[in-house]
With several copies, the nearest count.
Chain A
Amino acid sequence: MDDEPGTEEQGLPEMAGPVIYYNETVLEHFVCPRNVGQLDDQETDGFGLVGDPICGDQMKLWISVRDGAIARIAFRSFGCPGAIATSSMLTELADGKTIEEAKRITDDDVVEALGGIPERKRHCSLLGVRALQAAISDWERRRAAGDGRP
């Protein structure tokens, strides 16, 4: 149907106007985001927080690491549908990956997995990737400091 939303992805020119339309996959992740929530302190091996505290999108991300791989991941996000959907997809991509694999996840991977996202919402996917990297750094720091879980 050519009257559906998501037209921007369907090849209409960028000038398709000020409004942002999301595709079905993005909508689905917005409605049913994966891995929402938070890990309790005992379970948390790494925590990341990104975003301006005063305004704009904000994201918190927790990881639990077992045998060098992400065993559990959870997020909370204050933000637009794009932020919620990209965070959700990011956690899905990262879940089960080794830390080394998880470090290599880019915002392009997230966007691709979602089948595209409106140009002006690209920064949302970056937010998730940065939260994940922050959580991984936190895990590395805790490990280096010896206060990680065994």
Chain B
Amino acid sequence: MIYLDHNATTPLRPQALEAMLPYLRERWGNPSSPYRFGAEARSAVERARARIAEALGCQPAELVFCGSGTEADNLALRGAAQALRGRGNHIVTTAIEHHAVWHTCQALEREGFRVSYLPVRPDGVVDLDALTASLCPETILVSVMHANNETGVIQPVERIAALTRERGIVLHTDAVQSAGKLPLRLDRLGADLVAFSGHKLYGPKGAAALYARQGTPLAPLITGGDHERGLRAGTEHVAGIVGFAEAVALASAEVEAEAQRLGTMRDRLERQVVAAIPDAAVNGAAAPRVPNTSSLSFRGIDGESIVLGLDLRGICVSTGSACSTGDPEPSHVLLAMGVPARTAQGSIRVSLGRETRTDHVDATVQALADIVERLRGISSLGGEAA
């Protein structure tokens, strides 16, 4: 199997699994229990928090552990919206957010908030003028993703933070696709809330975190016991948290070298695709991108058919975000960038990762060229059709 869908999920690093196993075997205590056996589990959770804080540049008390990146996004948006309800009811986000943010903003609209969905430029970067223009005295919250899951395009979060900070607006960024791929310093990024997820960076599924800068107004999504300073009740996923911390620490240590390596392979992939396949385009290529992600469009054929064709040859790629697969609608991200619907329909996402080697890339381009040619032979949209 050649797995090139690392933006959907990643393998659990053996070191992360090793770190987890004691908490799945002998150290299974409840971190909230008042005896030493519980303290052992508590200590594991707090050391994990301290490790992530150290790796990403924040205070341990600024991290709230959650069950998924989606939950972290929900906590950020719903939690800040509820805490700030008294100050205004306007929220600003973009047209290219992941469903975790997009659908949550839609839910907040049904609860009476007004949400502006900002356009992006053809290169996939949010229009800062539009953003500035959208801010008004009622604006309480801005949510702009750090790196897009389909195109890898990086948004200028630092610059947006400068705009929100001077207006006293809370800024959330969904960093699920940038954490582990870019060197991340939470204290310098400027966002007040930052979501990231374990399974996207070679950690376990079921563990994620929300960074909430000290003092950021936030109401809990899940109430009950006093866990996570009252911001996320429920017995902690101890083993998952420990593995998550291990994965974050390892990813941080190697992020620059790995970014270099992946960027070189991604560029090779795109060069070969454009050279080998007529009418192929790379989406978002003009903007800064995370180094592992490539969004490719092929005229006249359907993305789902390409994905299936590759799967039948043992190659895993996707049409867009994992959780919208099967959706017959073309990608909202590509449409927002002005890609025509038909072209968007003929798009796939290739995302490289730690196990990816050059020969995987070459084999994938070869298979892709075959499949695109075959599907174009069937297509009713080719130049040769009646």
Contact = CB atoms under 8 A, between A and B. Distances in A.
Contact of A38 (B227, B304, B386): B386
B50 A76 contact: no
Contacts of A55: 330, 341-342, 345
A5 interface: yes
A78 B302 contact: yes
Nearest to B342: A55
B341 to A, nearest CB: 4
Contact of A77 (B31, B60, B345, B380): B380
B337 to A, nearest CB: 16
Interface stretch (B38-46, B121-129, B172-180, B203-211): B38-46
B302 A47 contact: no
A84 B382 CA distance: 15
A150 interface: no
B88 to A, nearest CB: 29
A3 B324 CA distance: 22
Interface residues of A, number: 43
A7 B324 contact: no
B376 to A, nearest CB: 9
Nearest to B60: A13
B276 interface: no
Nearest to A21: B39
Given A4-B36, A76-B380, A19 B326 contact: yes
A14 B45 CA distance: 13
Contacts of B33: 19
Nearest to A47: B386
A13 B42 contact: no
Nearest to B375: A84
Contacts of B300: 78
B223 interface: no
B312 to A, nearest CB: 7
A60 B382 CA distance: 12
A138 interface: no
Contacts of B305: 30, 79-81, 84
Contact of B304 (A17, A36, A60, A81): A81
Contacts of B32: 17-19
A57 B378 contact: no
A33 interface: yes
A58 interface: yes
Contacts of A18: 32, 225-227, 323-327
Contacts of A145: none
A57 to B, nearest CB: 7
Contact of A56 (B301, B312, B326, B328): B328
B34 interface: yes
B379 interface: yes
Contacts of A120: 326, 328
Contact of A5 (B36, B60, B328, B382): B36
B47 interface: yes
Nearest to A5: B39
Given A3-B43, A7-B43, A36 B378 contact: yes
A147 interface: no
Interface in A13-40: 13-22, 27, 30-31, 33, 36, 38
Nearest to B27: A3
Instruction: Name which of A7, A78, A79 has the most chain B CB atoms within 10 A of its CB.
Output: A78
Nearest to A53: B342
Interface string B192-215: 000000000000000000000000
Closest 8 CB pairs of A and B: A55-B341, A76-B380, A5-B39, A18-B226, A60-B380, A80-B304, A78-B381, A20-B326
Given A33-B378, A54-B341, A120-B326, 5 more contacts: A4-B39, A12-B60, A17-B31, A60-B385, A81-B305
17 contacts: A3-B44, A7-B43, A13-B60, A14-B61, A17-B227, A18-B32, A18-B325, A19-B42, A20-B304, A20-B326, A27-B308, A30-B305, A33-B378, A55-B341, A56-B345, A75-B380, A81-B304
